[in-house]
Amino acid sequence: MLKGKTALVTGSTSGIGLGLAKALAAQGANIVLNGFGDVEGPQAEVAALGVQVAYHAADMRQPAEIADMMAYAASRFGRVDILVNNAGIQHVARIENFAPERWDAIIAINLSSAFHTTRLALPAMQAAGWGRIINLASVHGLVASGEKSAYVAAKHGLVGLTKVTALENAGSGITCNAICPGWVLTPLVQKQVDAKAAELGLSNDAAIKLILSEKEPSRQFTTPEELGALAVFFCSPAGNNVRGVAWNMDGGWVAQ
- The one among 131, 181, 239, 251 contacting ligand NAD by CB under 6 A: 181
Evaluate whether 30 touches 51 at the Cβ level (below 8 Å).
Answer: yes
- Shortest Cβ distance from residue 99 to ligand NAD (Å)? 16
Toward ligand NAD, which CB reaches closer, 42 or 239?
42
For the bound state, the minimum distance from the C-beta of residue 25 to ligand NAD, rounded and expressed in Å, comes to 16
Rounded Cα distance, 116 and 46, in Å: 25
Q: Does 251 bind ligand NAD (CB under 6 A)?
A: no
Given the rule CB under 6 A, which of 76-84, 119-127, 180-188, 199-207 is the region that contacts ligand NAD?
180-188
Q: What CA–CA distance (Å, rounded) separates 244 from 148?
A: 24
Give dist(CA 118, CA 130) in Å, integer.
14
Helix, strand, coil shares of the chain, percent, nearest 5, are 50, 15, 35
Q: Does residue 234 interact with ligand NAD by CB under 6 A?
A: no
d(CA 92, CA 227): 24
189 binds ligand NAD (CB under 6 A): yes
Nearer to ligand NAD, 41 or 78 (CB): 41
Which residues within the stretch 24-63 sit at the binding site for ligand NAD (CB under 6 A)?
34-37, 59-61
55 is catalytic: no
Stretch of 13-21, 22-30, 70-78, 116-124 contacting ligand NAD, by CB under 6 A: 13-21
DSSP 111-147: IIHHHHHHHHHHHHHHHHT-EEEEEE--GGGTS--TT
Q: What b/e sequence results for 172-202 when a residue is b if at least 16 CB atoms lie within 10 Å of its CB, and e otherwise?
A: eebbbbbbbbbbbbbeebeeebeebbeeeeb
Q: How far apart are the first and last CA of the chain?
A: 36
In the complex, least distance from residue 85 CB atom to ligand NAD, rounded to whole angstroms? 8
Binding-site member from 25, 122, 136, 174 for ligand NAD (CB under 6 A): 136
Nearer to ligand NAD, 111 or 235 (CB): 111
Binding stretches for ligand NAD (CB under 6 A): 11-17, 34-37, 59-61, 86-89, 109-110, 136, 138, 181, 183-184, 186-189
